[in-house]
C-alpha cells in the first residue's frame, strides 16, 4: 500500500456541501466514542454525536467542523458526513450560539416546571447543539 493514499471528506447538509477536502486522517466522535478514519479503511456506517469532526490538514493542524448529530458513511476512500446542520469553525456565529444557549436554558427551565418531558428533551438537544458550537468556536 502506498503511503500517499488519501481519503476525501465531504460534509453534506440540506443547505449544501459545507466542506470538501482530502486528508490522511479524519477524527469523528460517534455515539460510542471517537473513531479515527484513515485511508483504505473497511467501509463504515456510524451515528455521530453532537460534537466536532476534525480533519487533518497538516503536521499539527486540523480543520474543525461542528456537526449536530447525523451519521457518517465511509466507503471507497470517501467519507461522507451527513448531518442536518454543520459549520466550519471559522463560520460559527458565536453570539448567535450564545443566544441559542440562553434560549435553550430558558426552555429547559419552563419544561421542568411544567413537567413536559418531550419539550425538555428537545430543549436539551438544542442546548447541546449550542454548547457544541460555543466550545468549538472558543478553542
Partner 1 sequence: MPASMQEVKRRIVSTKKTGQITGAMQMVSTAKLNQIQKHAANYQIYSSKIRSVITHLAKSHLLDSSAVSGEVGKSQDGKVNTLSMIKQRPVKKTGIVVITSDRGLVGSYNSNVIKSTMDLIKNGNHNTEDTVIIAIGGTGADFFSKRGYNIVYEYRGVSDVPTFKEIRPIVETIVSMYDNEAYDQLVVCYSHFVNTLTSVFRAEQMLPISAENMGTDDLTEQDENDYQIEYETEPSQDAILEVILPQYAESLVYGAILDAKTSEHACSSTAMKSATDNAKDVISSLELQFNRARQSAITTEITEITGAQAALD
CB of 108 to partner 1, least distance (A): 17
Q: How near is the Cβ of 19 to partner 1 at its closest, in Å?
A: 13
Cβ-based nearer residue to partner 1, 75 or 110: 75
The site for partner 1 (CB under 8 A) is made up of 12-17, 30-32, 35, 42-47, 69-71, 73, 75, 80, 82, 84-85, 118, 122
In angstroms, give the least distance from the CB of 17 to partner 1: 6
Provide the minimum distance between the beta carbon of 87 and partner 1 in the complex, in angstroms, as a whole number.
11
**DSSP for the chain?**
--TT--EEEEEEETTEEEEEEEES-EEEEETTEEEEE-TTPPPEEEEEEEEEEEEE-SSS-EEEEEE-S-EEEEETTEEEEE-S-EEEGGG--HHHHHHHHHHHHHHHHHHHHHT-HHHHHHHHHHHHHHHHHHHHHH-
Kindly tell me which of 26 and 61 has the beta carbon lying closer to partner 1: 26
Q: Which is nearer to partner 1, 22 or 80 (CB)?
A: 80
Amino acid at each position: 500500500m502506498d503511503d500517499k493514499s488519501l481519503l476525501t471528506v465531504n460534509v453534506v447538509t440540506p443547505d449544501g456541501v459545507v466542506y470538501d477536502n482530502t486528508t490522511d486522517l479524519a477524527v469523528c466522535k460517534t455515539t460510542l466514542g471517537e473513531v479515527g478514519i484513515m485511508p483504505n479503511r473497511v467501509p463504515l456506517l456510524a451515528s455521530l454525536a453532537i460534537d466536532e469532526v476534525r480533519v487533518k490538514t497538516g503536521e499539527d493542524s486540523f480543520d474543525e467542523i461542528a456537526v449536530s448529530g447525523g451519521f457518517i458513511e465511509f466507503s471507497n476512500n470517501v467519507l461522507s458526513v451527513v448531518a442536518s446542520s454543520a459549520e466550519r469553525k471559522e463560520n460559527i456565529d458565536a453570539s448567535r450560539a450564545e443566544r441559542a444557549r440562553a434560549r435553550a436554558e430558558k426552555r429547559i427551565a419552563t419544561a421542568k416546571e411544567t413537567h413536559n418531558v418531550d419539550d425538555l428533551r428537545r430543549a436539551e438537544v438544542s442546548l447541546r447543539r449550542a454548547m457544541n458550537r460555543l466550545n468549538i468556536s472558543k478553542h
